Amino acid sequence: MYKPLASLAVAVLLGGCASATKPVDPTDALMARYAGDVPGASLLVLKDGRAIVSRSYGLANLEDHDETTPATNYRLASVSKQFTAAAILLLAESGRLHLDDPVRRWLPTLPETDSAVTLRQLLTHTGGLVDYEDLIPPGTTAQVSDNDVLRMLSATSKSYFAPGTSYRYSNSGYVLLGLVVERASGVSLPLYLQQHIFRPLHMDHTLMYMSGGPEVAHRAYGYSEEHGQWTRTDQSVTSATRGDGGIYSSVEDMAKWDAALYDNRLLSDASRQLAFSPHVKVTGEPYEASYGYGWRITGDTLWHSGESIGFRNVIVRWPKQHLTVILLSNRNGPEPYRTALAIAQPYLQEP
């Protein structure tokens, strides 16, 4: 782990001369706010399939003073959506479902007003479904499950727009897609991901976390800065839903995921083309982008951020340059997308 006092120690050993200190590494400078006795981050830069930067900063657990490492597992939050999308694509490849299936074929308790909503539209956030967060009764303290989300959506006939006519980012849609994976495969979503994605790719420490299920090894706990103090804010009432954000992983395991997106070891060429194609223009978000299946697309980049209480993450891929930056953090700020872009710049400028 990078320690900001390391250069000071070198200076002391060399007689205290300031000129003897090494210049601050540009990447460490960009990551400086994560260093020290604070909630931290793990950073990985991959170029041509090789890790050219792998560093960890700060703490995974403030109470026990556990330092972060490349094996630290963070809650991916919405970075999980690309895995849920991949599961749907794998089931489509095997003929277990079709992307143009109405979601009500698989989840018939949804209201008739959702009869035209398809799986493809849920993948691209064009289904128009109401945000389940807005349906949670005031004062709720128990965590909301996927089945709770289905129940709440089944009890409302409201929608934001006619399916396929607009874009609105939808955690509801990805929760439903996770339930569709279960209905179409006959196994739980965590088990399907384990059997068909994590295990084949040797992502040996990645899992979709459920209370009462396997514990997360090398777990980072989430924190929020409040009044100048860090407070553990690892879970909220919406932290138990799965398809929209329930995966824990490390930068080490995410490197294996990144590698699989360059060839057909997991998804076919056709499925990857679907996932990485700009199906709809993103609106209502602070970045210029289009949306694929679980991926935002901006220029030459494929990327997705993930935010949940106490976690901020991003993966940014430049497939033409064979470059990827993965930044996972267990804190409520800063938002890491711009930092990842800045870290990538020197490698994008190389011939």
What is the full DSSP assignment across 196-252? IIITTTT-TT-EE--TTSPPPTTBPPPEEEETTEEEE----TTTT--TTT-EEE-HH
Q: pLDDT per position in the chain (351 positions), as tens? A: 333 333 333 333 333 444 456 677 999 999 999 999 999 999 999 999 999 999 999 999 999 999 999 999 999 999 999 999 999 999 999 999 999 999 999 999 999 999 999 999 999 999 999 999 999 999 999 999 999 999 999 999 999 999 999 999 999 999 999 999 999 999 999 999 999 999 999 999 999 998 888 999 999 999 999 899 999 999 999 999 999 999 999 999 999 999 999 999 999 999 999 999 999 999 999 999 999 999 999 999 999 999 999 999 999 999 999 999 999 999 999 999 999 999 999 999 866
- Residue 76 carries which DSSP code? -
Looking up tokens 């109401």, which residue turns up? 130
- Tokens encoding 331: 């804190």
Closest residue by Cα to residue 179 from 157, 199, 156, 154 = 154
Task: Report the CATH fold assignment for 19-348.
Answer: Beta-lactamase (3.40.710)
pTM of the model: 0.93
Q: Where do the structural domains in the chain lie, given as residue ranges?
A: 19-348
